Structure 1
Amino acid sequence: MLWWIGAGVAVVVAVLAGVADWRRDRRDDLDRVGWVDWRSMQMFALIAAAGCAIIAQHG
């Protein structure tokens, strides 16, 4: 059960990172750059979600 919760949290983080990246791409002031690489965070969150789901199915 705990692995499913981890997978769910990772999916939520991936969705939020996707929204943040979408907002960053459409910002008005192009000189205001952020320090978080949202695309990488989204990728790692999706990998973590897949890993947690695989472990939950086998465990």
Structure 2
Amino acid sequence: MNDSLRFLATAGAVAAFIAAVAWIGDRRRMKRRNLDRVGFMPWTTIFFWSLLAAILLLGISGRAWLGGN
């Protein structure tokens, strides 16, 4: 496993972790008791972009790892 492949896999794992945290934050926002306390973080947008990055980075690194390139 070369360094660029390791970097892609690590960055994909970090993006997947951020997507999981954003998903939890979005669910907490939807199920809040006080409807006036909306917060300021755009959890849905953060979730979308980090999940997209995770899928792309992990897909590219997995393809390179399995393909041997």
TM-score exceeds 0.5: yes
SS at match of 2:39: coil
Residue 49 (1) aligns with residue 54 (2): yes
SS of the equivalent of 1:2 reads helix
RMSD between aligned alpha carbons?
1.3
Which stretches in structure 1 are left out of the alignment for 5+ residues?
Answer: none
Name structure 2 gaps, 5 residues minimum.
1-5
Q: Identity across aligned pairs (percent)?
A: 31
Which residue is equivalent to 2:43?
38
Q: TM-score, normalised by structure 1?
A: 0.86
TM-score, normalisation: structure 2: 0.76
Larger Rg: 2
Runs of 4+ with >3 A deviation? none
- Secondary structure (helix, strand or coil) at the match of 2:35 reads coil
Pairs within 5 Å for 1:1-59: 1-56=6-61, 57-58=63-64
Aligned positions, number: 59
